[in-house]
Amino acid sequence: MKPEQILFRTAKGEHMVNNHGRDISIAQRRALIAIDGRTSLSELSRKVVWVQNLEAVLHELCDLGLVTCDLMEMQTQTALTGTGTLVHKAQLIELARELLGKHAEKIIQKINASQDNYAALNETVLTCRKFIRLTVDADLAERFLARAQAIIDA
């Protein structure tokens, strides 16, 4: 796993959290609950101090099929479960990192703070465009908007 990767709970992982599954250890359960589909591995490592050897626990959860960092796998699962906005948020965060580099942090915060529905996500993208236009570059803002809308519309 790479530090910038964002982890997602799979449908099996969601089921385990929602139904208080006892088939995993306490450390695995705590780590699984902390995974929100928005936080990178490096951020999780800083925030989840109550799980010792977090990276090993996350690998175990991956091996059990409870979490993934594969967006393609998540897109397939979200088509079945209807939780597509988390995948779109992750893709928008990747887009922000790709286009904005060191200027991406404020945009990532705005995307993470957005409600988990398509109307709110569209509004957030427009707000991000304005912010990029004012703080970075107008052409870059338009490229961000076009690519972000393609992500949301997909």
Map 100-130 to HEC letters. HHHHCHHHHHHHHHCCCCHHHHHHHHHHHHH
The identity of residue 13, as a single letter, is G
Closest by alpha carbon to 95, among 111, 83, 82, 84?
111
pLDDT band at 70 (very low <50, low <70, confident <90, very high): low
Adjacent-strand bridge partners of 9: 67
Annotated domain spans of the chain:
8-73, 83-153
Does residue 143 carry a pLDDT above 90? yes
pLDDT by residue (tens digit) across 124-139?
Answer: 999 999 999 999 999 9
Q: Within 10 A of 63 (CB to CB), how many other CB atoms are there?
A: 9
pLDDT score for 1: 65
pLDDT score for 128: 94
Instruction: Determine what percent of the chain is predicted with pLDDT higher than 70.
Output: 88
pLDDT by residue (tens digit) across 31-69?
Answer: 888 888 778 888 888 888 888 888 888 889 888 888 887
> CA end-to-end span of the chain, whole Å?
26
Here the tokens at position 71 are 């967006």
Q: Is 95 helix (H, G, I), strand (E, B) or coil?
A: helix
> What is the b/e burial string over 106-136, where b = at least 16 CB atoms within 10 angstroms of the residue's CB?
ebbebbeebeeeeeebeebbeebbebbbeeb
Select the more confidently predicted residue: 72 or 123: 123
